[in-house]
A and B are shown apart, each in its own frame.
Chain A
Amino acid sequence: MSKSPDPSTFELQQQALVRARGSLLDTADLGDRQLDRAMGALLKPGVDWGDLYFSEYSSESWVLEDGIVKTASHDRGRGMSARAVSGEKSGFAYSDDLDPATLLRAADTAGAIARGGGRRQIELRRAGASRRLYAAGDPGEGYSDESKVDLLHALDREARGADTRVRQVIASLSIARNLMLVCSSDGRLAADDRPLVRLGVTVLLEQNGEVRHGVSGWGGRLPLADLVAGDTAGEHAREAVRQAVVNLDARPAPAGEEVVVLGPGWPGVLLHEAVGHGLEGDFNRKGVSAFAGRIGEAVATEQCTVVDDGSMPGRRGSLEIDDEGTPTGRTILIENGVLAGYMQDRLNAGLMGVKPTGNGRRESYAHLPMPRMTNTFMMPGPHDPEEIIRSVKKGVYAKNFGGGQVDITSGKFVFSASEAYRIEDGKLGAPLRDATLIGDGPTVLTRVSMVGSDLALDPGVGVCGKDGQSVPVGVGLPTIRVDGITVGGTA
């Protein structure tokens, strides 16, 4: 992928770098000479390449319960890590002390992974993304602590005002910022200043002794002020109440294979579990994924094109550069039903002889990077969503989901419907109780018979876990019809 350089690009990237160097390196007496010495210690004989990673984070969270803001908390920290790669081997050491001696020791420890070969001279140069995807600096800027409290009270008020049966409202706000800088042995020096904001509201509603809950949340790499513009808070509070009300009347979901229509947006978690993880480069290099060695094969119907795109402005899963300094972009995973590519970090791309795709991510400096998703979604198709529901004689319409999970080797995956309805004769019927759906990743998309025109991305609250590391991600889907998937109900 190429983009013509923006005249301000160099300057912007330099700004992020200047900020990161000032905040992470200068305050710790880490200059070019110290970096060079550490790189020397890292690149022991036999080490192919390596990187030094520095980051600093701060986050605050506010929680309202029982109509009052009970607690506010703040967390901050910084640290660095050194990684040395030799073939398929990685040596890794980290510390949350940031000083020249600790850096040198970490580099030395990480470099001890390999033996044999010679040391190289490194010349640092600037690199990085060619555009800004989010505003740098404090995402809570312009919002005083009082106004954060007011915001949570507004969520509480809106939710309680929406229905007299609301018994409890839990509202939360978290604002985080993560400034990272990576210096790699090919001379790349790149930085990224990442804001992340999230709001959530949980409502408990009681009727005749029966309690139901509803949840809504939203967020992204945006200033808080943008996230709460207009009546956004009211919409989410009412949405949580609406879900709780729907759940009051829910009946047992069916047990067995059903035609399932998935609504737009968050149900895209299907893609994340069914195909996303299975298309991460590490699993495919090792041949442990059900998708290994299948590039060029049909894994979906022709209507299905699935992409991972880390370069969408303001999205929760977006990054200007990944945690190895590679600019993010759009990676086509499945094109018109055919498996087109994997998501890669540097290590796995190098071993597989392909280019990194900007998917090398890590939870923090204390974790090794690996191929991870960013924002994963299916491109829209030709069908009107109403037409898709009308086409189903008997089935299930699943509108909202909780989380999911996949066994990438067998390809079996689950995702849990938190709001679903019976479809009978093309019309939505009674709401159904929570049920887990289970399917087979490599074949589920071959059963997608209709793709809607209404692509939507999730509201920005997704978290993905892999090998003990959590990272923020996005998903998206237009309405689709799946001609058979097992619904795990009781009826």
Chain B
Amino acid sequence: MSPNELSERVADALSCARKRGASQAEASASNNTGLTLRVRMREVETLESHQDHSLGVTVYRGKRRGSASTSDLSAGAVRETVDKALSLARFAAKDKYAGLADAERLATEFPDLDLYHPWDLDAEQAMELALECEAAALDADPRIGNSEGAGVDTGESSFAYGNSHGFLRSGRSSNHSVSCVVLSEQDGQMERDYDFSVARAPEELTPVKKVGESAAERTIKRLGARKIRSTRAPVLFSPRVARSLIGHFCAAVSGRALYNRASFLLDSLDKPVFADCVNLAERPHIPRGLASRAYDGEGVATADRELVCGGVVKGYFLGSYSARKLGMATTGNAGGAHNLLLESTGQSYEELLAEMDEGLVVTEMMGQGANTVTGDYSRGAAGYWVRGGAIAHAAHEITVAGNLKEMFRNIAAIGSDVDRRGGIYTGSILIQDLSIAGA
């Protein structure tokens, strides 16, 4: 379904809601198509063709709210969905904060974010790319003897959003990725690791051979892993896992956590939560960005803003509802953050190892283990033990623990090895003095 067709369905849903008694309404629809091909041990394993669509509508009867969604976009099903939302709204309580975003906050300018770059890829071509990717990994080292495979994914989405303030926009985007997971074996020990590349445009993907080689290198480096003695030491979170630390911050300063007082960062605005060296910005309009949006889930305009300056918190993540609850203004984050950039303090990864001297590099984390209410943090980890500023050996079956409040204050440096494969751009993060549990 094209963006225009989706717009029509959204407009139909809105007019239907109005006619049937909704005082306000909003609706969104999306259509996704795609192809996934996976190979394993140099043979095709799966070829998947995707096609799905959905429409969701939220209606207000005064200050009562109801929502419904459907995967059937026929006119009849859309009407039924609106009716269902209206009937549910009858049973919701009056909530004085409920309602659409304020009309004056809706986006009026729509920069071209350059998000749509379809990939005319057929199954044969996808197979060749995936085979080349996996072969690069399998051929990289004799200790790589097994594989969970390599995959090539391509997808396109059309979407539309509208509300009864008269806002109605649609658009489309694309997403492509390549990934590879291989196993290494030595002295009866098996290890597994992966690498991947993801981009809006196919030409921006890392060459498949490089993805495969890097997956192999990472997997080989895990061999010989052992448990270490429980200790306290500096920990360097590599970019792949450093991202999750910023994620914990976002969760703690999101509107719902704040108004429920379920956050270790209550009333943190204008307070020094992080070390002085930390600067975090939101940049929603990066061309081809993986989390770029011109407007948020309520149609509110997104804008560049600074979230943390010199360690001081300058912004929360709010939608209209949580903003009203907190007596604040929406930050255009209904539905989440839009490209977060953590500024590097300038050191390369190697320089950070030297700065750390002795400690742990974490390359993989396991489990949830972060409590947003108290900030207590305890997660499974694997990586390398560093001695004299160089990697001594791989380490596993250990945990890293502390409290996020202290961890944020103890950030000593942020590397220049920035990973842009996601909505959070960050280099390695060095945190002083964390508790490591092992043998």
Contact = CB atoms under 8 A, between A and B. Distances in A.
A95 interface: yes
Interface stretch (B13-21, B85-93, B200-208, B418-426): B85-93
Interface string A450-491: 000000000000000000000000000000000000111110
A435 B398 CA distance: 12
A69 B379 contact: no
A257 interface: yes
Contacts of B52: 79, 94-96, 366
A77 B71 contact: yes
Contacts of A146: 91
Interface in B174-191: 183, 189-191
A429 interface: no
B369 A416 contact: yes
Contact of B47 (A91, A405, A416): A91
A286 B38 CA distance: 14
Most-contacted residue by chain B among A68, A110, A489 (CB, 10 A): A489
**Most chain-B CB neighbours within 10 Å: which of A90, A403, A416?**
A416
A90 B400 CA distance: 40
Given A69-B92, A71-B66, A72-B92, A412 B382 contact: yes
A257 B228 CA distance: 11
Interface in B81-112: 81, 84-85, 87-95, 98
Contact of A409 (B70, B72, B192): B192
A488 B51 CA distance: 44
Interface string A366-378: 1010000000000
Contact of A72 (B46, B51, B91, B371): B91
Given A168-B260, A405-B366, A410-B192, A212 B373 contact: yes
B380 A436 contact: yes
A219 B123 CA distance: 43
A145 B438 contact: no
Interface in A64-89: 65, 68-79, 88-89
A332 interface: no
Contact of B66 (A72, A256, A407): A72
A408 B183 CA distance: 11
A72 B437 contact: no
A257 B439 contact: yes
A120 B80 CA distance: 42
B9 interface: no
A94 B146 contact: no
Nearest to A417: B378
Nearest to B374: A212
B409 interface: no
A227 interface: no
B114 interface: no
Given A286-B146, A434-B371, A436-B380, A410 B191 contact: yes
B397 to A, nearest CB: 5
A211 interface: yes
B72 A77 contact: yes
B276 interface: no
Contacts of B47: 89-92, 112-113
Interface string A438-458: 111000000000000000000
Contacts of A343: none
A287 interface: yes
B192 A407 contact: yes
A366 B397 CA distance: 35
Interface string B350-383: 0000000000000010111101011010111010
Interface residues of B, number: 76
A170 interface: yes
Contact of B88 (A74, A486, A488): A74
Interface centre among B43, B93, B364, B382 (most CB of A within 10 A): B93
Contact of A74 (B48, B68, B371): B68
A295 interface: no
A72 B84 CA distance: 10
A72 B67 contact: yes
Interface in B394-439: 396-403, 435-439
B343 interface: no
A77 B46 CA distance: 25
Contacts of A410: 189-192, 222, 225, 382, 396
A290 interface: yes
Contacts, number: 245
B51 to A, nearest CB: 5
B46 A92 contact: yes
Contacts of B366: 405-407, 412-414, 436, 438
Contact of A434 (B66, B91, B189, B369): B369
B255 to A, nearest CB: 12
Interface in B305-325: none
A288 B402 contact: no
B49 interface: yes
Contact of A416 (B98, B123, B368): B368
A77 B367 contact: no
B262 interface: yes
B91 A488 contact: no
Nearest to A287: B146
B12 interface: no
A435 B374 contact: no
Given A288-B183, A290-B190, A489-B437, A70 B95 contact: yes
A45 interface: no
A488 B400 contact: yes
Contacts of B146: 286-288
Contacts of B288: none
B262 A95 contact: no
A79 B71 contact: yes
Interface centre among A75, A88, A146 (most CB of B within 10 A): A75
A76 B66 CA distance: 15
Task: Give the 4 A-B CB pairs with smallest separation, nearest first.
Answer: A488-B399, A77-B71, A414-B380, A68-B93
Interface of A: 60, 65, 68-79, 88-97, 106, 109-110, 112-113, 145-146, 148-149, 167-168, 170, 204, 206, 211-213, 247, 253, 255-257, 286-288, 290, 366, 368, 402-410, 412-416, 433-436, 438-440, 486-490
Given A145-B90, A486-B227, 17 more contacts: A71-B92, A92-B48, A92-B49, A93-B49, A96-B54, A109-B49, A167-B261, A204-B262, A211-B373, A288-B148, A288-B190, A402-B369, A412-B396, A412-B397, A434-B374, A436-B378, A488-B379
Interface of B: 40, 43-54, 65-72, 81, 84-85, 87-95, 98, 123, 146, 148, 183, 189-192, 222, 225, 227, 230, 260-262, 266, 364, 366-369, 371, 373-374, 376, 378-380, 382, 396-403, 435-439
25 contacts: A71-B67, A72-B91, A75-B70, A77-B54, A79-B71, A89-B47, A92-B49, A94-B52, A109-B49, A113-B47, A206-B261, A211-B261, A255-B230, A256-B439, A286-B146, A366-B52, A368-B46, A410-B192, A410-B222, A412-B382, A414-B366, A415-B367, A436-B366, A488-B437, A490-B402
